[in-house]
Structure 1
Amino acid sequence: MNRERVRRTLAVAAGTAAVAAVLLLAPWRDDDGPPAPAPPPPGAGVDYQIGGAYAPPPGVDVVVRDRGDAPAPGAYNVCYVNAFQAQPGAEDEWDPDLLLRDADGAVVYDEDWGEAVLDLRTAGKRERIAARVGRWIDGCADRGYQAVEPDNLDTYTRFPRLLTRAHAVSYAALLADRAHGRGLAVAQKNTVELARDRARTGLDFAVAEECGEYGECAAYAAAFDDRVLVVEYTPGGLAAACERWADRLSVVRRDRAVSPRGAAGYVRETC
């Protein structure tokens, strides 16, 4: 899930066969390169399941799940990976010099989530971090996912004295190259200000949390040719997204904990 504002996150396909047909007949192409792995087609039914997997509801053709869960049979599956921060309690699994440190040498944490921030400030460190995250991306491909969602692209916005936009863009491009090499499309997670950098990052579609709530869906739609998975968390956000984008983008409302169906607090609504 996104760690700023708790902002987590195909023509409508009639079913899995229709989605497959779209993917086969209309591959996504960069302006000056060969066909890239196909992202979700615009407007398809989507479910955001990063808090726990469950059988997709009827009408869902695109499913986003954590990399620890198996992909949903018969769907277009997006694999969630925490790529810019360490998982809570997992900082000891990283080389100490790959953890971002302040002027006093203390590890920098995203306090809202208890996650150590990864140090992207040099090309060498970015390459080492991308190599490890790349193994997770390889695992997504091996399990049968079609795309990957690297989370926390916006970390640099929360620690502007230490990290920059350029660091994030360079690192995202490394992840995109790794994913494309394994046949996976790659999502831009939130961070609307980077949408215009799509050509530099190599990202193929967007997962936009609360873009209806904050009036940002148009920027993502323009940058990614409507290949946008919109995840809202409030009734007002869902209403705003549906009012303008129901016929163009994939829109779903989830509870903020992204709970699996049957759990307390579970919410899922669509347009």
Structure 2
Amino acid sequence: MNRRVPLLLAALLLLLAGCTGSPGDDDDPDPPHAAGRWQPEPGVPWQWQLSGRLDTSVDVPVYDIDGFDHPASTVTSLHERGRKVICYLSTGAWEDWRPDAGKFPRSVLGRGNGWDGERWLDIRRTDVLEPLMAGRIDMCRDKGFDAVEPDNMDGYANRTGFPLTAADQLRYNRLVARLAHERGLAVGLKNDLDQIPQLLDDFDFAVNEQCAEYGECAALSPFVAAGKAVFHVEYELPTREFCPEAKRLGLSSMLKRYELDAWRKPC
């Protein structure tokens, strides 16, 4: 039913609507996007655990965990503790142990990416990969995750077995970001430093490994300048060698082991 509201009353209602926020709303460390997605802010502490029994006692506001390995009840439990939860997925490489591994045709499987049971994907084949990745991100949404960390998003810069170009990578990365956003999830850009200028507007945060070791952390500054978190880990350097610079740049940094178990040493 349509109801006509007098102009003066409508203006008054709009004015009141703009004043109903509580005084502390502007102090929310991780406010939502206008579209309703979670937006992690620079410097927010985090935990990244992809192996071993999940340790939910780490007192940080953000957890990044494997999307396949954990049920909805784990996400719910973390939410009850006030945590935001990121769903780790590999979107640029095939993993032979995943429950949907048999759905990937051999034609899209390339060279190994250096990890046992993993092979690069032919990201040009969006006709094949889009529905598969949509299904994976549906899983993240259905389990209640707040965001997605899509891994292996820089195949064009590696020996994949396919003649991938930077344009191929931009197209695919934007596709993955769109799939996440359509499902109300935030999404992070994993590594792929060279394409940050083109992809900054498409991603809500960044996840980086070893930028300090390779002298690349400044390349992540556009995310911080845009009010978007950069979740960063080092494996080889002691914290004294990378934490001062990481703090200056506004990164959320910590030292981890390669197996990404529960152990962490934050800056």
Pick aligned residue for 2:253 from 245, 251, 254 = 251
Pick aligned residue for 2:30 from 12, 23, 29 = 23
The corresponding residue for 1:83 is 91
- State how far apart, in whole Å, the 2-side matches of 1:240 and 1:186 are: 29
Answer whether contact 1:153 1:191 (CA < 8 A) is retained. yes
The corresponding residue for 2:184 is 183
- State how far apart, in whole Å, the 1-side matches of 2:196 and 2:114 are: 26
- State how far apart, in whole Å, the 1-side matches of 2:163 and 2:224 are: 29
The structural deviation recorded for 1:239 is 2.7
Residue pairs, 1:34-73, within 5 angstroms? 35=35, 37-52=37-52, 53-58=54-59, 60-68=60-68, 69=70, 70-71=74-75, 72-73=78-79
Unaligned 5+ segments in structure 2 are 1-23
RMSD value, Cα: 2.6
The corresponding residue for 2:170 is 169
Richer in helix (by share)? 2
Secondary structure at 2:89 match in 1: strand
TM-score (norm 1): 0.75
Pick aligned residue for 1:230 from 229, 232, 236 = 232
Summarize the Cα distance change of 1:239–1:131 in structure 2 as closer, same or farther, 3 Å threshold.
farther
1:152 counterpart letter in structure 2:
N
Summarize the Cα distance change of 1:39–1:20 in structure 2 as closer, same or farther, 3 Å threshold.
same
Identity %: 30
The structural deviation recorded for 1:215 is 2.1
- State how far apart, in whole Å, the 1-side matches of 2:109 and 2:217 are: 33
Answer whether contact 2:50 2:259 (CA < 8 A) is retained. no
Unaligned 5+ segments in structure 1 are 1-16, 29-33, 101-107, 261-266
Q: Does residue 269 of the first structure (1) align with residue 261 of the second (2)?
A: no
The corresponding residue for 2:4 is none
2:104 counterpart letter in structure 1:
W
- Higher-Rg structure is 2
The structural deviation recorded for 1:19 is 11
Answer whether contact 2:197 2:222 (CA < 8 A) is retained. no
- State how far apart, in whole Å, the 2-side matches of 1:20 and 1:257 are: 36
- State how far apart, in whole Å, the 1-side matches of 2:108 and 2:102 are: 11
TM-score (norm 2): 0.76
Secondary structure at 1:215 match in 2: coil
* C-alpha distance after superposition, 1:11-49 (max 9, x if no partner): xxxxxx99993334xx44xxxxx6472331211111111
- State how far apart, in whole Å, the 2-side matches of 1:136 and 1:20 are: 34
Alignment: residue pair count? 229
Secondary structure at 2:94 match in 1: coil
Summarize the Cα distance change of 1:57–1:136 in structure 2 as closer, same or farther, 3 Å threshold.
same
